[in-house]
Amino acid sequence: MVNRAIPPKIFTDFNLTLNGIDDYSMDNGAKLFCIPSKGNEIIKLDIILPFGRINETIPAQSKTYFNNLLSGSTAFSSKEFHEKMDYYGAVTNIKSGLDKSILSILSLKKYFNEVLDVWHKMVTTATFPNEQLKQKKDISIQKLNRQLAKNNVISYRELSSDIFGENSPYGYNTTPDHIQMIRKKDIEDFHAMHFSFSNATFILSGDVNETTIAVINKVFVKNDQKKIAETLYKQINSKPKKQRIKGIQKNQSSVRLGRRLFPKSHPDFYAMEFLSVVLGGYFGSRLVSNLREDKGYCYHIDSTLDTMVHDGCLYISADVGNKFVTNTIDEIHFELNRLRNETIPHEELALVKNYLKGQLLTLIDGPFAKSGLIKNYISSNIAFTDFNSFSSFIRSVSAEYLKEIANKYLNPSDFNLCIVGQLHNEE
């Protein structure tokens, strides 16, 4: 009989190696990564396009373009296309990114060829109908106006603008006027300048084989490679800013602190990723334990590393009661200084190591999880070997080294601060 008083054994020494990925070169020059998994009868195709917001010539051009890519074509109207996808039970998705963008198809294996054919005709003969463009612009403006009524949205927008610069592709804030001013010609020009499957990276996962790969190679065989101009990203440096903005929501204030860091390729990235988790990256983290569990200032608080191809930042965010704003900021500064002045205790260090190893394990648990991980690496311009390197770093990193890195990057005086809520603790 099982003794319920004895807890199950905890395994911490398990294999954390990214493998099971085959790579191919397609006839059009593009790269294809294949993650086969027999038996689930589902196929997912992700196509990473090497352009996004950073390639815009006017604000809101990239997102508006991708919002309208499936609005109509010479082959199908938008209604006809979505009816066909519904008939086959397929799901399509488009993610417009800062540096790169992703087109995705999820289909039953038995219908994949038909779904791929319809989808390919739709995106390669897109016409961006004016009526659909106007409708989608109106919807985007309505969504943005709803978002701009939220304190936490405003604080994030203002903080990112302070960190990266209001004219930077990473820092500018889209306005309703930006969206309204986009013309059909603007998105047609964007399409003509950048859209090419020869410049893309393909990730194929699920119940796939050589036949599936041959089908994809045949569909995307056309070599229409376009020269992608090198992105001239200019980092805008500024002194940390502190601002308080009156928000529409009255019951809570959104508090955000953040500072510029670096992309994932930076040698200190692993250590900062680890420190961010210690600070506010899981439920038992220091900020959660202090401000939520101990003092009850907020329901949730976290720290996040946000990375792009050319830049990155660390930010801390919380929605707190208006009367706790000053105390919240003081406690965040206290926790930042603790990491700078004290080494992380052995038990806490071991706990975070095990937590991160568990997180890495979920990232390689199955073909679709792996495809998501690979998308992240390709979008960040880093090699897949980064996974194994980070795994090794987690096992070996010392508390002394983390303290050294904390002293480089966690000085509270280097952080921007943005508070959105009621001014002067108004009720």
Together in a domain, 41 and 112: yes
pLDDT band at 5 (very low <50, low <70, confident <90, very high): confident
Residue 3 lies in a domain: no
Residue 59 lies in a domain: yes
Residue 378 lies in a domain: yes
Together in a domain, 211 and 260: no
Given 219, 252, 279, which residue is the final one in a domain? 219
Given 188, 219, 250, which residue is the final one in a domain? 219
Three-class DSSP labels, the chain: CCCCCCCCCCCCCCCCCCCCCEEEECCCCCEEEEEECCCCCEEEEEEEECCCHHHCCCCCHHHHHHHCCCCEECCCEHHHHHHHHHHHCCEEEEECCCCCEEEEEEEEHHHHHHHHHHHHHHHHCECCCHHHHHHHHHHHHHHHHHHCCCHHHHHHHHHHHHHHCCCCCCCCCCCHHHHHHCCHHHHHHHHHHHCCHHHCEEEEEECCCHHHHHHHHHHCCCCCCCCCCCCCCCCCCCCCCEEEEECCCCCEEEEEEEEECCCCCCCCHHHHHHHHHHHHCCCCCHHHHHHHHHCCCEEEEEEEEEECCCCEEEEEEEEEEHHHHHHHHHHHHHHHHHHHHCCCCHHHHHHHHHHHHHHHHHHCCCHHHHHHHHHHHHHCCCCCHHHHHHHHHHHHCCHHHHHHHHHHHCCHHHCEEEEEECHHHCC
Note down the domain range covering 301: 242-425
Residue 211 lies in a domain: yes
Residue-level pLDDT at 427: 43
Together in a domain, 75 and 120: yes
Residue 11 lies in a domain: no
Look at 343 and 16; give whichever has higher pLDDT.
343
The tally of domains found in the chain comes to 2
Q: What is the pLDDT of residues 157-208, one digit of tens each?
A: 999 999 999 999 999 999 999 999 999 999 999 999 999 999 899 999 999 9
Q: What is the pTM of this model?
A: 0.92
Together in a domain, 304 and 163: no
Residue 154 lies in a domain: yes
Residue 293 lies in a domain: yes
Q: What is the pLDDT of residues 225-257, one digit of tens each?
A: 666 666 668 887 788 999 999 999 888 999 999
Residue 319 lies in a domain: yes
Together in a domain, 173 and 268: no
Together in a domain, 190 and 253: no
Together in a domain, 81 and 134: yes
**Domain CATH for 398:** 3.30.830.10
